[in-house]
Amino acid sequence: MQHNNLKRKRGNHEGDGEGMAEPGLQRQILPVAGTMRADFDGVPQDGMEYLFTVRRDYAKLPWLTSAPSVPPPSGIAPAPWVQQAKAIKAKLERAPLPANVLDDIGASDGPSRVPSQEWKEMFVAGFRRFRENVQQPTIYVGPTPTPRYPKVTDRAKWWSFITGREDPFASGKARPPTADATSMKTEPAEPGLDYAADELSTERMESPVLSLSAGTQESCTSPTTALLRSLDQKGLLHLLMYFGHWLNTALHPPTPHPPPYPTSPFEPALPPMFSQWLFALLGHLDDRLMSGEIHTLRTLARACREVLVKSWEVGEEVALAIGESPEERAVREREREACWLVIAAVAGVWGQSDLWEDARDAVRATLKG
């Protein structure tokens, strides 16, 4: 009974309609005029009339309005990177765009087969924006599965993880993979970088020649954002060091193994999957590195330069001697483009501009010879 009385009192208090606001408004506190006097000239004489005009004008407003776009003030100069991008775009519009990065389709002169400085500046500007996008934290807050990958210090396991094949040169140093040996990590490791000479040079037999045909690309592991973000900077540098070692092994394989790059039929030393990994690793790498870490990038860029030189110096002779299909020519061109991308990224982002000039001079000298 007591509950019913309380409910009845509340209903009696609210049922009169006085002191309540119109639908959609808050509770009325101040008195508002119910009607306007006949001689109202538009200027309220007291607070009640003023509130009446406020409600009347509010009822005439639309529920949704869109503000017109306001152009930026002409007195404010655009950002420096915007000015640089516009300048590069203006230069490119004055000349026809190349067919690809190298512009070597149907060209016979050496300089046209080398990327221009304008192309390098445009690529580095876009690559910097790519790095900013991939390195900023995501707005997604849901659970992210922890990727599974080998121990960062195990170079042979990373070769198998990326290529989906066993290491052909590691049979004499490692046992066949078992269920325990092929187990993957579920937490990112924190290895220490060791630039010992024996790890880079005397252990050539541990890594295979980089020769991935189109048929084996399906078994390769692509770089994912979750995997790359789970690696720390030392882990990223370890993988970049491995790629540099694998490129050098492809260029100078230990005897009596297959002949060095370029092979016949052609197998790229830098296949598309490896190009994706290098681009992704460089995109997640910090732009401030120590001298030893810069040395890892320089070693990688020099290996790409040697691939370019061998591709033009020996690869063209092999192609002319045995013939080359359009598909093989396209694979060779994509490999050269990937090498230029790596060299331009290292030269532009980490300030190693001498590597870019050395690569251009080396390719020009090879083409003239």
Query: What is the rounded CA–CA span in Å between residue 79 and residue 351?
Result: 22
- Identify which of 296, 314, 337 has the alpha carbon closest to the alpha carbon of residue 251: 314
Residue type for 186, please? T
pLDDT 10s digits, 242-277: 999 999 888 887 765 555 565 555 577 888 899 999
Q: Are 191 and 231 in contact (CB under 8 A)?
A: no
Q: What global pTM score does this model have?
A: 0.60
pLDDT band at 241 (very low <50, low <70, confident <90, very high): very high
Question: Within the chain, how many helices (H) and strands (E) appear?
Answer: 13, 0
Q: Where are the domains of the chain?
A: 111-368
What architecture is the 111-368 domain classified under in CATH? Up-down Bundle (1.20)
Q: Bridge partners of 149?
A: 185
Mean pLDDT of 188-200: 38
- pLDDT for 282 equals 95
| Three-class SS state of 185 | strand
- pLDDT for 213 equals 44
Q: Are 253 and 214 in contact (CB under 8 A)?
A: no
pLDDT 10s digits, 115-129: 989 999 999 999 999
pLDDT 10s digits, 344-367: 999 999 999 999 999 999 998 888
Residue type for 164, please? G
